Chains A and B, each alone.
Chain A
Amino acid sequence: MSMLQQVPRNAFVWIIICLFVLVAPHAARLPIWILALYAVAAIWRLQVHRGNWSCPTRLVKATLVLSGFFGVYATYGTFVGLEPTVALLLIAFALKLIELSYRKDAYVLLFLGYFICITQFLFSQDFLVTLWGLVSVTLLTTALVAIHRTGEQEFRFGTIRVASAMLLQAMPLMIILFFLFPRFGPLWTVPMKNHTAKTGMSDFMKPGDVASLSQSADVAFRVKFDGDIPDKSALYWRGLVFSRIEEGAWSALGFYDLPPNQRRPKEVTISGDPLRYSIIMEPTQQRWLFGLKYARSETQAVIQTSNFLLFSPFPIETDFMYTVNSWTNVVVDDVLSDWRRKTETRLPRTGDARTRKLSVELRAEAGTDEAFVGLVLDKFRREPYVYTLRPDLLSDQDAIDEFLFESMRGFCEHYASAFVFMMRAAGVPARVVAGYQGGEINPINKTVIVHQFDAHAWAEVWLASRGWVRVDPTAAVSPQRIEFGLEEAVESEGSFLSTVLLSPQRYRRIPALNALRLRYDALTYQWQTWVVGFDNERQFDLLRRVFGETTAKAFAVTLLGGLALVMLPFAISLFFTRELHPESRLGKHYRIACKRLAKIGLVRAPGETPSVFAQRAAKVLPDYASQLWQITHLYNQLAYGGAQTPAGNAAQNLQDFARITRRFRPKKQGA
């Protein structure tokens, strides 16, 4: 039994490969000491493998386990949450490897490995991550096969073939189960990702925030329109509304900052056909969603705020898909409440005196709010303002004065902030809106890809009878930004994505690479809609489309069909494996010939040699005598011939024999 319980050396090598493959996708999230632990575990294992070191004693093991727990607590401050849990799992895997000596340890280790594979998907369900998961599962399964190959004491790459074949055979039924298994909601609340950095917009904006976001080429979300894609310059993806300015920074009002009667969105009279589109957000760990004005969503759990923004009650931790209807031309907030008016015109008591003075003057000169907006935009357009990713650093005091009258260099948040400040200084309700502007159209699948560098800030001004109106001062300074995007707008500066060297976005000027990138993005979109975003609504749609209404029966048929699909190829290969001994096939062909003779009354007696039988048969069937002799002669030669076997290889001879016997169709002859 001891041999059965040992882990062959081949398996050890595979397990060590698994170790590194499993930790790789988590590496960026993990504290450095866990990675060090992995290196130690691998070295220790190799030394045990070579016979230089021994397995750890019980005391050493206990110490390692305790310090693992301590380390996790020291790093994360808690054991609750996804990250500490995954860290503990990974530590368990490394430590288990050190003490691995029996097969039962190996089972625990490898099943733990499958678990770690799953945790990897909780962080990202990206296509590449999935491919990596595929590799991990294959390697783990290979290791599982290897521990059952007793006696293999050196590394065999061929082991992976068995595992891959089995996994491939398992695919069809997996796909069927995936689409048919009912999706229900969580059974209980689970630890969330508390330690993953939030990405994208934040609910707090000071000058320079959007500019730094613009250095990232990550995708924020992808949009698929039901109809034509509107003009790029109309794509203002609203995400956050900043109504409060304090110490030079803009912030959003929280739900409880609003008086109770202001918390619900006002009714908006809609008219005309909306723009219909669906958005798949990349995880942000934040709760705001994006949409064009005026957006309503039919997706469950998407809330509309009093600012007509879309909002999710839970943080977006995985790819999140929602559908939106937008009416871009309707009037929102045609009547402004007193509280709202007061809030949206509030400014700090002091500071930026020059700006305030200028605003009052311009407002007086303009006569109406609308004309005032025009005058301010004119100022931006006429005077030498520069749109730049590298604005000057502004002082804390009178920053807007300094920007408007001295540096005159800024990014969108500078212009939006200064513009809203001027509006409010003249008593016109205005606020800063943050979100994304534009996007890249993927010609392959007609989606709009919105990147982080499309982050933008603009203004909304409340005008009597028109409600909240979007005004983008950046468009006045740099029309290219709105028409073509950031890259073109700051082209002369060379600052676009200057800090990220490896982003494929940097190489979009190379057509082949760009085509590849867009193709991959289209694949990602398909992946997100069909695999990652597959939920009970989509499942219901799919089932109805495939089966119509009679689902129960069709369900069973599909499941059984899937099972057959899984089993069939294997069963075929199992039952049609090449037979080992050519002699037995020889015998088979000879028996066929005998059977045909038996049908016409010539039965070979038991013990009768082929030659004797042939002699007897030839007398009865003189017409077939030559054929009979040929078959008998060949059979004798091939079966017993040894040295007399005719030249040529055995397979060829066997084929010849088979052909001759096939053609042999004796008919009864009249005596």
Chain B
Amino acid sequence: MKNHALDTKRHSKGIKAQINIRFRGWIKRRIPPAREVTLDQRRIFIFPTRVGFFFATCLLVMLLAAINFENNLSYALTFWLATLFIVAILHTYANLAGLTIRALRAEPAFSGQQSKFHLMIKRSKRRDYFSLHLKWPNSSGTLINLLDEDSVIVQIHMAVDSRGWFNPGRLLLESTYPLGLLRCWTLIDLDLYALVYPRARASTDLPGLTTNTPEGAAVVVDGNDDFYGFRSYRKGDSLRQVHWKGMAKRQGPLTKQYTAYADRSVWLDWDMFAGLDTEQRLSHLCYWLLEFDRHGHEYGLRLPTGSIEPALGEKHRDRLLKELALYGEERRSQ
């Protein structure tokens, strides 16, 4: 008995999943992924909302009243509202038709944090668009109107989970304007990917740290930096170490140097965390990478797939983070 119940449950789940897969396949053929989508009848779906069904029920009651009271103006009003419902199909459709949604960019984020997706909604017809609701499956919704401007840039925050390229799924763009009786919606794949860095996870120490100095001495990274002196600013230096006060005195951009690491570069090595699994290794590497960056070290990265020479600066950091993010993932041009 129990088994049977379980079976049917699994079976129904199977059907559901199958329907889901079928639907995904169908919608992928119908609305293929694209960086820019203009909405037309192929891409817009429409169906009455719950309010619409409630309205229809009200109309039925009104019709009964008209029949029972044999009241012609009640008939007329009921028919008028029913026809209004039909006309609303066109108006609701028109509130999405002709809109163009363009994927602008997605900001990289660390796993577990929120990424920001930038979209542009543009109209091609001179009409007002109201209450356009945009939402990805796991994002918060955004509501926009297109009244005075022809285009609006929308930023949608969304929590990203696993490392690598993150696709937010199909964007839901919906609207029930003008009457709320019908809902028009579209599900579009904007071919937009956010880069997700590994989650930075602290480890108590950095085992087997190697530097590229001949001494090969271990460096204690404790953040106890001693100020050493200035050198002239080089492109790629961390902005945190720019001597802003000096700039204010028109001395030209200078970078502060700290004794402990001033002339030492650190190699962050895949093998430092031998024995841990890939994700943990990447998380620790990410943590240390950020630590070194924060303290203004030059650091390099050695992964089984290749190595990057030590350097400083935001660009360098982002490049390394990308390496970590995409370690073991297939590459795609972004």
Contact = CB atoms under 8 A, between A and B. Distances in A.
Interface stretch (A488-496, A574-582, A596-604): A574-582
20 contacts: A117-B77, A118-B78, A121-B71, A137-B77, A149-B130, A163-B178, A166-B179, A170-B86, A171-B80, A174-B83, A178-B79, A183-B70, A318-B69, A531-B72, A532-B73, A567-B90, A570-B87, A574-B90, A580-B123, A581-B124
A107 B54 contact: yes
Interface in B29-80: 51, 54-55, 58, 61-62, 64-80
A144 interface: yes
B77 A121 contact: yes
Contacts of B66: 118
A580 B150 contact: yes
A534 to B, nearest CB: 5
Given A178-B72, A532-B72, A567-B90, 17 more contacts: A107-B54, A118-B62, A118-B78, A122-B71, A125-B73, A133-B73, A133-B77, A145-B179, A166-B84, A166-B179, A185-B70, A187-B64, A566-B83, A574-B90, A577-B125, A577-B127, A580-B123
A169 B90 CA distance: 11
A189 B67 CA distance: 11
A111 interface: yes
A166 B77 contact: no
Interface in B107-158: 123-127, 130-131, 133, 141, 143, 145, 150
A114 B81 CA distance: 9
Contacts of B54: 107, 111
Given A578-B125, A580-B125, A125 B72 contact: yes
A75 interface: no
The 3 lowest CB-CB distance pairs between A and B, nearest first, are: A170-B83, A121-B73, A177-B79
Interface residues of B, number: 52
B185 to A, nearest CB: 14
B97 interface: yes
A67 B143 CA distance: 41
B77 A107 contact: no
B54 to A, nearest CB: 7
A622 interface: no
A177 B66 CA distance: 14
Contacts of B64: 187
Residue of B94, B127, B180 most packed against chain A (CB within 10 A): B180
A543 B114 CA distance: 66
A114 B60 CA distance: 13
Contacts of B51: 104, 107
A532 B73 CA distance: 7
A114 B94 contact: no
A394 interface: no
A148 B179 CA distance: 7
Contacts of A563: 86
A167 to B, nearest CB: 6
Contacts of A511: none
Interface string A158-176: 0000110011011101100
Given A4-B133, A118-B62, A186 B68 contact: yes
Given A115-B58, A121-B73, A177-B79, A148 B130 contact: yes
B88 interface: yes
Contacts of A133: 73, 77
Interface string A579-593: 111000000000000
B129 to A, nearest CB: 11
A4 B84 CA distance: 23
Interface of B: 51, 54-55, 58, 61-62, 64-84, 86-88, 90-91, 94, 97-98, 123-127, 130-131, 133, 141, 143, 145, 150, 176-180
B79 A149 contact: no
Interface in A1-37: 1, 3-4
A335 to B, nearest CB: 41
Residue of A104, A121, A151, A531 most packed against chain B (CB within 10 A): A121
A133 B81 CA distance: 13
A190 interface: yes
Contacts of A174: 76, 79-80, 82-83
A118 B74 contact: yes
A302 B179 CA distance: 46
A152 B77 CA distance: 29
A181 interface: yes
A580 B79 CA distance: 36
Contact of A151 (B61, B84, B145): B145
B125 A177 contact: no
Contact of A531 (B70, B76, B86, B98): B76
A178 B90 contact: no
Contacts of B69: 122, 186, 190, 318
A184 B66 CA distance: 10
Contacts of A137: 77, 80-81
Contacts of B97: 574
A629 to B, nearest CB: 32
Given A4-B131, A162-B178, A580-B125, A150 B86 contact: no
Interface in A550-583: 563, 566-567, 570-571, 574, 577-581
A183 B68 CA distance: 10
B131 A571 contact: no
Interface string A67-93: 000000000000000000000000000
A199 interface: no
Contacts of B124: 579-581
A580 B220 CA distance: 64
Contacts of B98: 577
B180 A144 contact: yes
A141 interface: yes
A571 B90 contact: yes
Nearest to A130: B73
A103 interface: yes
B83 A173 contact: yes
Interface string A488-518: 0000000000000000000000000000000
B178 A178 contact: no
A147 interface: yes
Nearest to A562: B83
B77 A570 contact: no
A166 B66 CA distance: 23
Contacts of A532: 72-73
